[in-house]
Amino acid sequence: MVLPLDEYVDKLFKVWDIIDFIKTRNCGGDETKEKVEWFKEVCVEYASDKDNTDAMEFTDWIETILNDEFNILLEEDSGVVLATKILKYSDALRKKDEKLATEMAEDALKILKERKSDSQSKRQVEGDSDDEDGTTDGSSDEEMEVDEGKEKKERQPKQVTDDDGWTTIQRH
């Protein structure tokens, strides 16, 4: 199934930990929700321009928006991954490469489905009165079978304010 570019970007944003962090921490102030929607829209516009094909340039552009609008500096490569996926998908749509576009859309939908499943599992674990180590943060990764609690805890982004007052996101 081939998705329009805006729907594909929407799916990617739903599974990107940074967006979840921005929303839960209200990093965009009172207008966080609107800023995230705007951010998605401008990413679609950027990728729709056939002249914008450089993933590193797109990454810099994404990171500038994260810094300016949400006061966030990425210290991991999720911006590169996001930019690469969006541009690759946009290029597949432009070239009418349905096979690649379908594959990428299905991957995004699979990850989103796993994220929702993990979120439901989290609620069930939190609802139990047992004292088991079921601590999770609801994040998803494609390989969730190895000690979920520890892996999820490692992947949980952490907000750190450095000496200069910059708020950064760190992954462990």
pLDDT on residue 138: 46
User: Could you write out the DSSP letters of every residue in 135-149?
Assistant: ---S---S---S-HH
Q: By percentage, how much of the chain surpasses pLDDT 90?
A: 65
DSSP 170: E
Q: Give me the pLDDT at residue 54, please.
A: 96
**Residues in a beta bridge with 73:** 168
Q: What integer pLDDT is reported at residue 155 of this predicted model?
A: 56
pLDDT category at 97 given cuts 50, 70, 90 is: very high
How do residues 104-162 score in pLDDT, each as one tens digit?
999 999 999 998 887 676 666 665 544 444 444 444 444 444 444 444 444 566 778 87
Asked whether residue 94 is domain-assigned, the answer is yes
| Domain encompassing residue 42 | 5-119+155-170
15, part of any domain: yes
* Residue type for position 162: D
Better pLDDT: 164 or 40: 40
pLDDT over 80 (residue 11): yes
Q: What is the pLDDT of residue 140?
A: 43
DSSP 3-state assignment of 57?
helix
Q: With contact defined as beta carbons under 8 Å apart, do 62 and 83 qualify?
A: yes
Residue 137 · residue 121 · CB < 8 Å: no
pTM, entire model: 0.70
Lowest mean pLDDT among 17-31, 56-70, 125-139, 154-168: 125-139
CA-CA-CA-CA dihedral for 142, 172, 168, 35, to nearest 10: 20
Q: How many domains is the chain built from?
A: 1
143 inside domain? no
Give the residue among 153, 152, 166 at the shortest CA–CA distance from 63.
166
Is residue 136 in a domain? no
pLDDT at 127: 57
Residue at 162 is within a domain: yes
Answer whether residue 31 is part of any domain: yes
**The pairing of beta strand 158-161 with beta strand 73-74:** unpaired
